[in-house]
Amino acid sequence: ALPGAMRMLLLLISLTAVQVSSLSLSAAVARVQTRYLHPVMVSKGPRDLPDEEQDRLWKQEQQRELQRRQEENEGNEFEEDERDKLVEMSSDLGRVPDLSPIPGPPVPQPDVNTSDPRPLFVAVRTFNPRQMPSDTLTEQYVEWVSEATDLICRAGYLLSADSFDGFEEADGTVLSDEDLDELDEQDKDLEPEMQDLGVQFVSGNVIVARAEEIEPLDEWMQEDPIGEAGGYEQTSLHRWLRSDDVKLNHPQVQGPSYLIHCLDKDGQGDLRARTREAHLQWLMESGRVHLGGALQSHEGEVAGNVGTLLVVNGEDLHEVRQWAAEDPYTQAGLFARVNIAPLLEYNVQDLLEL
């Protein structure tokens, strides 16, 4: 009969907890236990006493029996305790709940790493002396670059001077703004070709690109419209080992930056190695390098580095040239050729991150 009694107990506990809402669950259990599992068996006493007296004695005996059983069950989990009375669910039980957010597991985020693992390459191409591409040829060049946004990080052009105010033609004639506008209109009707203007405003182009290897990039460079028109006097293409040191990545100041493109004399790897630390220290102390790094030989790392490419902030072209002359590499006689020029960007969209 025990399993059945236990089932009944559980049922009665559930019912009592609902019906007697002013009692705690332990009090409800105690009440059910007293009423159903341990009934109080008390005789009402002699029959010769008046009914009222018998009832009074019976109630006293019942009270004593209940008190005795409560004392026996003292410390029992079923003992009634007024402190455990149920309260309305709207009460906070005397405690203010802590509703502060609980940290959960990290929320998965999409891969936002946009860095391109392909190495950097830089092409520096200078125009023939006294020549510049016509407007039509320049438009073809920009279109050609714009179609290679899977390669290009930077597409810039080199100026021959900081300013061209009041420049003179070869015969000494000073051109006004109106004269320049007229030349622009005439240039629109010209074929895509290099023009001998007697003065050179733009001295060349610079491309910074990413590619797995230099050979496919070199093949793409052969399609340069200006190159096909025979417009370049000198061209170079090297892997650029751009430094990520914070001291060589200062923010670009307002206005044009200045490109410093240097190529070593042949067979001077030992001289470069001996002078490298002094060169790096000089660059870091300057606080003006926006981008910088060595140019690697076409034969790769084994053959060493054969040049330096810097993009720096400066007051003007003359000041930058004076500063570059103090480079320990220059002082040691490492370079065979140095090109320093103001650097501006073509309006090419959707370029890769540098």
Whole-number pLDDT of residue 167: 58
Quick check: is 110 in a domain? no
115 part of a folded domain = no
For residue 288, give the CATH number of its domain: 3.30.70.1060
Contact 335, 328 (CB under 8 A): no
Task: Indicate the residue among 69, 84, 99 that finishes a domain.
Answer: 84
Three-state DSSP state, 200: coil
User: Do 176 and 259 reside in the same domain of the chain?
Assistant: yes
129 and 29 part of one domain: no
Residue 262 forms part of a structural domain = yes
Q: What is the CA 242 to chain-centroid distance, rounded?
A: 20
Tell me, yes or no, whether 126 and 264 share the same domain: yes
Question: Which class for 54: exposed (0-12), middle (13-18), buried (19 or more C-beta within 10 A)?
Answer: middle
Average pLDDT per 10 consecutive residues for the chain, totaling 354 residues? 39 38 40 38 46 69 74 56 48 49 53 74 96 93 95 95 67 66 68 86 96 95 97 97 95 88 96 97 96 93 93 95 98 98 92 90
Give me the amino acid identity at 263.
Answer: L
- CA-to-CA separations, 240 to 194, 207, 210, 293, in angstroms, rounded: 29, 11, 10, 6
d(CA 88, CA 95) in angstroms, rounded, equals 14
Same domain assignment for residues 160 and 247 = yes
Give the pLDDT score at 337: 97
Phi, then psi, of 168 in degrees rounded to 5: -115, 140
- Assess if residue 170 is contained within a domain: yes
> 43-59 pLDDT, tens per residue?
344 444 566 666 677 67
Q: Is residue 294 part of a domain?
A: yes
Residues 135-162: tens digit of each pLDDT: 899 999 999 999 999 999 999 999 999 8
For 289-344, what is each residue's pLDDT tens digit? Answer: 999 999 999 888 888 999 999 999 999 999 999 999 999 999 999 999 999 999 99
Q: Is residue 308 part of a domain?
A: yes
Extract the tokens encoding 24. Answer: 């705690």
Question: Are residue 252 and residue 305 in the same domain, yes or no?
Answer: yes
Residues 191, 270 within the same domain? yes
- Answer yes or no: do 71 and 157 share one domain: no
272 vs 25: CA distance, rounded Å = 88
Residues 141 and 40 in one domain: no
pLDDT computed for residue 1 by the predictor: 38
| Overall number of domains in the chain | 2
Verify that 201 and 273 share a domain, yes or no.
Answer: yes
145 in the same domain as 54 = no
Q: Which amino acid is at 133?
A: P
Helix (H, G, I), strand (E, B) or coil at 123: strand
Note the pLDDT of residue 188.
62
In a domain, 105, yes or no: no
The DSSP letter of residue 350 is: S
Tell me: do 57 and 126 sit in the same domain.
no
State the residue range of the domain holding 304.
120-345
CB atoms within 10 A of CB 225: 19
The length of the chain in residues reads 354
Same-domain check for residues 176 and 258: yes
Asked if residue 93 is part of any domain, the answer here is no
